[in-house]
């Protein structure tokens, strides 16, 4: 093999490793995005429940009740 063939083979090998690395990193990013989407939905659900609890009658009633007798 001459120098050019050796050099081309080295570059092809590096390129293959880089493609594998890029694919692995892409898989991680996709997985993280799915997790972020789930967390965002959970946060929105919790925020909505908190808003409902703070504006609902049950929240106001609980504040107005006297403390239990054991206090």
At 24-57, the pLDDT tens digits run 999 999 999 999 999 999 999 999 999 999 987 6
pLDDT band at residue 60, thresholds of 50, 70 and 90? low
How far CA 51 is from CA of 9, 54, 71, in Å, comes to: 63, 5, 29
**What is the share, in percent, of the chain residues with pLDDT greater than 90?**
75
User: 3-class DSSP state for residue 4?
Assistant: helix
pLDDT of amino acid 58: 58
- Contact yes or no for 58/52 (Cβ under 8 A): no
Is pTM beyond 0.75? Reply is no
pLDDT of amino acid 1: 79
């Amino acid at each position: 093999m001459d120098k050019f063939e050796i050099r081309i083979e080295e570059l092809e090998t590096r390129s293959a490793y880089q493609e594998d690395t890029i694919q692995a990193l892409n898989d991680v990013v996709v997985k993280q995005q799915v997790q972020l989407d789930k967390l965002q939905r959970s946060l929105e659900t919790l925020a909505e429940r908190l808003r409902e609890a703070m504006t609902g009658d049950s929240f106001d009633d609980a504040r107005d009740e006297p403390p239990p007798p054991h206090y």
